[in-house]
Structure 1
Amino acid sequence: MEQQTQRRTKRKSDNNKYSKRLNSLQELQLLEIMCSYFQEQSKDAVRQIIFSALFSPQGNKADDSRLAMLGKLVSMAVAVCRVPILECAASWLQRTHAVYCVRLARVLVDDYCSLVPMSIQTLKQIFSASPRFCCQFITAVTALYDLSTDDLIPPHDLLEMVVDWIFEDPRLTLVTFLNTPIVANLPLGCLELTPLSGLVRWCVESPLSYKRNRKPSLSNGHGASSKLSSEGAGEGKGDSQQPLYSKLHLSVLQILMMVQVHLAEKDLYGRFGLLMFEHVVQLVEELSRLVEELNPLNTARETELSLDRLAQSLQVAMASGALLCSRGGY
């Protein structure tokens, strides 16, 4: 009996020893080892298998630690431009549930858009190094920043980078679609094949979403002064962003026009849409709620701009086959 107790105590001690968290130095050393391994491994298939085994969510308590380490590894790969890791991360983003993808996107946004001023330049450099990763990253950040609240409006540096990337090479948004065999049933819960739905949402909802920042509070008897102060703060921010959204909208229309050729090349024209009808319905409902929410304000100009962008996007998408819907469907 005493021996059994001693054995249990030893096992518990061993388990505690192995479950003990790494300190910062040990964590950095582990990241450097993984970085070197994926960089030196010449077989892409092996890299992908190992990466998936290490970082695919398993639905257990270790997932949080696994995803935290993944965020640090990918952030390091961006900093030192380790393309093999970025390519593995692109595949991970493509096959993993969107809930986890937006968590990784948030880590990168925090690291390169929030914590250190001007570090966004480091993130920008991966544009030419790994277009696949950039495409998946854009899809993830448009899923993360859905404009549903003021906290979910994309940071200026992130928005500017995404707009610059897409303006320079509109085909960047189609990289995953062009390099992925299309199956009848895409994995449920994963990110979409392109960021087009999210980008259309950004363009359509942005005029009203930024206007929401200037909604006055009349509950404390100081509505006039609150209105002036909130309008002064929100108006400058919203108006300064709108040229970027206008530039993005033109790029999105250009992308939608080129989609027809690629759908035809894949023999998917008229059979597969890159913009889901359900997402368009959701966008229209969100836009309607925004207009109702902002009714006390003079939002005629912003509402007209949002509706114009929506109409243009839908018209081009239907004409190119990106949206499988007849005009009578609305």
Structure 2
Amino acid sequence: MSQFSGPEIKHTLRKLEFPVCSKEALLKIGQLTCGRVPSIKHMDLALDLMAEFIFHEVDRRGNKRTLPLTTMQEIQLVEVLYDYFNSVNNDTARNSVFLSLFSGTTAIIRSGILSKLVSMAIGIPSHFILISASTLMQQLGNTSPNSYRLANALVKDYFVLMPNSSKQLHLVPRLAPQFASNFLTAVADIYFADVKKGPLIFPPATLLETITDWVSENTQLCVAAQQTQSALPPGAIAMEATTPFAGLLKWCILAPIYRQTSEIYGKLHLGLIENMLEIPHSNPPRAIFAQHLIISIGNICRYAVDLQNRSRKSDPTERQKMFLEDTALHLCLDRFAQAIQIALSVNCVYGNIGDMINQLKQLPFNKLMAIVINSYKNKT
């Protein structure tokens, strides 16, 4: 079939029933996309094969299909994809096909199949698929809408619909640490989001516990995606991974003021600090972006204003005392100050650090935070 023209290949595949046609089309797509320098003609043909024979988005004339794949057909397709990617030992070839299938203008449409495939790769462990999924998340941006959808689907599968099966995820950091790191970055953005984005939601207890175990048991997990270069097709530009430090620290910092009193947040905070202390030195730093580290400021300031408003009718002295003695607020600020100090001490912060310090001055007074701010000013 490799010697046939495009029309001949399509004609041959149309004689096959689903999902056999999908299986054969994948083999041909691999040949077309994994050449040393795939031609535009080959890539266009590969995209046509994906649309018609893999995802059944168009008919033989190229017109959009009105009926999507049935649930049974989706299951069959996921099984075909699972078997195919596990059969490709070459990382570059596997990633080339994976990126072609699940990125580009059709990524949103195909996100459901991607989520089911990655979920299957966790339930029936597949190092190959998880590494390719990690590469995809990193190339699209692991805080992008597509990565967000994937992370949200995995949370739903393993922590909402089947919370007792979350033990499967405990294997992931050892099986594919890069994927685990990129998943953490994506999932961290789902919870404790800025209130301007909508109602605040908190992570399920089983998710919080699993993530805390991951971080506590592997002190280099948070930078794993930055330590391994993804195997990309020729000409592709590798995207830098965003570490999960800022997003997960946000959980720990904001938990007290939102009455999330689980001790797990304290354990997660300690695990993140230990991970920060193990960040490999790089020049320039690249582990934590300064503006990401201070995303909690707005939430904390709104809490402080609300606290003052609730005590407005009190005596001024009593109001100030109430403000200073709010244990939730000061636990929040203590954790924030600890994170800032450790990040600065290990020189892992990049971006405008001076602006970050100035923004920290907006926060309610906290002794530890004041020490951190003054320490930085004395060194500059």
TM-score category, normalised to shorter length: 0.7 to 0.9
| Ranges in structure 1 where 5+ consecutive residues have no aligned partner | 1-10, 182-186, 212-237
Do the aligned residues in 2 keep the contact of 1:208 with 1:291 (CA within 8 Å)? no
Secondary structure of residue in 2 paired with 1:204: helix
Using the aligned pairs only, state the percent identity: 28
Matching residue within 220, 244, 255 for 1:206: 255
Between the aligned partners of 1:303 and 1:151, the Cα distance in structure 2 is 18
How far 1:38 moved relative to its partner?
0.3
Matching residue within 159, 167, 186 for 1:113: 159
Query: Could you tell me which residue of structure 1 aligns to residue 296 of structure 2?
Result: 283
Q: 1:164–1:142: structure 2 CA closer, same or farther, 3 Å change rule? A: same
Between the aligned partners of 2:64 and 2:302, the Cα distance in structure 1 is 54
Between the aligned partners of 2:292 and 2:181, the Cα distance in structure 1 is 20
1:196 aligns with 2:245: yes
Q: 1:281–1:122: structure 2 CA closer, same or farther, 3 Å change rule? A: closer
Between the aligned partners of 2:77 and 2:87, the Cα distance in structure 1 is 15
Secondary structure of residue in 2 paired with 1:158: helix
1:147-181 Cα distance to aligned partner (Å, 9 max, x none) = 43554211111110000011111111110122249
How far 1:67 moved relative to its partner?
1.0
1:313 aligns with 2:362: no
Secondary structure of residue in 1 paired with 2:163: coil
Query: Could you tell me which residue of structure 1 aligns to residue 233 of structure 2?
Result: none
Q: 1:13–1:255: structure 2 CA closer, same or farther, 3 Å change rule? A: closer
Between the aligned partners of 1:135 and 1:102, the Cα distance in structure 2 is 14
Do the aligned residues in 2 keep the contact of 1:93 with 1:191 (CA within 8 Å)? no
Query: Could you tell me which residue of structure 1 aligns to residue 208 of structure 2?
Result: 159
Between the aligned partners of 1:94 and 1:257, the Cα distance in structure 2 is 24
Relative contact order, higher structure (CA 8 A, sep 6+): 1
Code of the residue aligned with 2:244 in structure 1: it is P
Q: 1:29–1:328: structure 2 CA closer, same or farther, 3 Å change rule? A: same
Query: Could you tell me which residue of structure 2 aligns to residue 70 of structure 1?
Result: 114
4+ aligned runs moved over 3 Å, structure 1: 11-19, 146-151
Between the aligned partners of 2:200 and 2:170, the Cα distance in structure 1 is 23
Secondary structure of residue in 2 paired with 1:119: helix
Query: Could you tell me which residue of structure 2 aligns to residue 51 of structure 1?
Result: 98
Q: Which has the larger radius of gyration?
A: 2
Between the aligned partners of 1:178 and 1:191, the Cα distance in structure 2 is 10
Q: 1:169–1:73: structure 2 CA closer, same or farther, 3 Å change rule? A: same
Larger helix fraction of residues: 1
Between the aligned partners of 2:60 and 2:243, the Cα distance in structure 1 is 49
Secondary structure of residue in 2 paired with 1:170: coil
Code of the residue aligned with 2:109 in structure 1: it is S
Query: Could you tell me which residue of structure 2 aligns to residue 235 of structure 1?
Result: none
1:52-110 Cα distance to aligned partner (Å, 9 max, x none) = 0000132xxx4332111111111111111111111100111111141111111000000
Between the aligned partners of 1:284 and 1:18, the Cα distance in structure 2 is 48
How far 1:284 moved relative to its partner?
2.1
Query: Could you tell me which residue of structure 1 aligns to residue 274 of structure 2?
Result: 254
How far 1:192 moved relative to its partner?
4.8
Secondary structure of residue in 1 paired with 2:288: coil
How far 1:290 moved relative to its partner?
2.7
Q: CA RMSD in A?
A: 2.8
